[in-house]
Amino acid sequence: MARIAVAVIALTLAGVSLAAAPELRAGTAGCQDAKTALADAKQKLRKAKKALKEAETPRAKEKAKNRLKKARDRLRDAEEAAAEACTGEVRFMVIGAQGKGNTGQAEVGAAMDTVCEESGCDYIIGLGNNIYDSGVTSTSDDQFMSKFETPYAGNDVKFWLGLGNHDYGGNGAGTEPAKAQVQIDYTEVSPSGKWKMPDRYYRRTDGPVEFFTLDTNPLMFGDDDDQETDISTWVANSDAEWKIALGLHGYRSNGPHGNAGDYDGTFIPPADGTNVKDFIEDNICGEADVYFSAHDHSLQWPEQDATNCPGTELIVSGTAAASSELEGDNPTHFESLALGFAYVVIEGSQMTVDFIDADGALLFTRTITK
């Protein structure tokens, strides 16, 4: 009953009437209604912030401050209600190769805002290459503003981010590890508080899901024994219903970089991705349910590799700012060069992944069941 009461209060404060929430009238706090209330509360908070910014007189500013305080209180209550009502349900977006600060990033960001408002999202996951072309040298670098804070200003959720080769500097060669540490440090000073990167690789649990964020750049060079030890232990010992691995470098892809072990057709280790291939086969394949990557700038869902990577879905989401080409011949459920992102909903034993473009249009959807 306490859970229902919290949800009712949050819905009422957010402006959603009980007439619009039949599940609550029947005595059950409906998740979708709680998500609707949360989206509405976020919208009211944005309007309150805008009103304060535009206030010109002392009286208007005081009124705007009071309105902002109430909006923040409503948002907190709505977040608590949604957390209670939506236990076991997780909604998030997966983006990659997004940090260009270009028109494409802004367009995809706007589409993400719309989906979050209309369908709900708990957070956004970034697979790496947050700052093109060669990372940053300090936490005060203007690129954090132009390539993260500004493009995603319309969205209030947290971004859980990983590292890519461009984040490691060297114009994509990935040879300046100090630049990667700067992005980790930015977590503490991000003015929006949305940038979250607790370490260069890490794990995080949300309800029925455990996420394993890899740092694939050093894996390319085969010199990261600590990461291999930690990731292999974490994944193998996890009792989460869903295990999702996240990394920049792909395992199967029809993009220009191609399949791990044959990146860019080089056939020369470590540039061919042999070390990434070995790492994924040894620690992710058959252990994680899904591996998301974004080295190639496309949207892809390759068919499962039953021989080399059985039991693990391989999904590419790398068009959050730009696209490249599709030239490989791996069989796929879907592939596209459209700018966009993956929207994931996990409910119990089902996971649904939607590919959505920069106009907010649904390109493809597929549900897997455990």
Q: What does the pLDDT average to over 192-206?
A: 98
Coil, helix or strand at residue 68: helix
Could you tell me whether strands 350-357 and 362-369 are parallel, antiparallel, or unpaired per DSSP bridges?
antiparallel
User: Cα separation of 287 and 243, whole Å?
Assistant: 8
Neighbours of 14 (CB within 10 A): 23
Q: What is the mean pLDDT of the chain?
A: 90
Neighbours of 326 (CB within 10 A): 18
Q: Is the pLDDT score of 266 beyond 60?
A: yes
Q: What is the pLDDT of residue 28?
A: 32
User: Cα separation of 109 and 333, whole Å?
Assistant: 25
Q: What is the b/e burial string over 157-171, where b = at least 16 CB atoms within 10 angstroms of the residue's CB?
A: bbbbbbbbbbbbbee
Q: What does the pLDDT average to over 251-277?
A: 95
22-37 confidence digits (pLDDT tens): 332 233 346 778 878 8
Q: What is the pLDDT of residue 25?
A: 27
Predicted TM-score (pTM) of the model is 0.81
Categorize the per-residue pLDDT at 255 as very low, low, confident or very high, splitting at 50, 70 and 90: very high
CA dihedral 27, 32, 35, 39 (to 10 degrees): -120
Regarding predicted confidence, which is higher, 37 or 131?
131
Coil, helix or strand at residue 297: coil
Categorize the per-residue pLDDT at 15 as very low, low, confident or very high, splitting at 50, 70 and 90: very low
34-84 confidence digits (pLDDT tens): 878 888 888 898 889 989 989 999 999 899 999 999 999 998 898 888 777
70-121 confidence digits (pLDDT tens): 999 998 898 888 777 777 799 999 999 999 999 999 999 999 999 999 999 9
Percent share of the chain, pLDDT over 70:
91
Residue 88 · residue 207 · CB < 8 Å: yes
Strand order in the sheet with 340-347: 195-196, 158-161, 123-126, 89-95, 340-347, 350-357, 362-369
316-332 confidence digits (pLDDT tens): 999 999 999 999 999 99
Q: What does the pLDDT average to over 256-278?
A: 94
User: Cα separation of 64 and 58, whole Å?
Assistant: 10
The helix or strand, by DSSP H or E, that contains position 242, with its residue range, turns out to be strand 242-246
327-362 confidence digits (pLDDT tens): 999 999 999 999 999 999 999 999 999 999 999 999
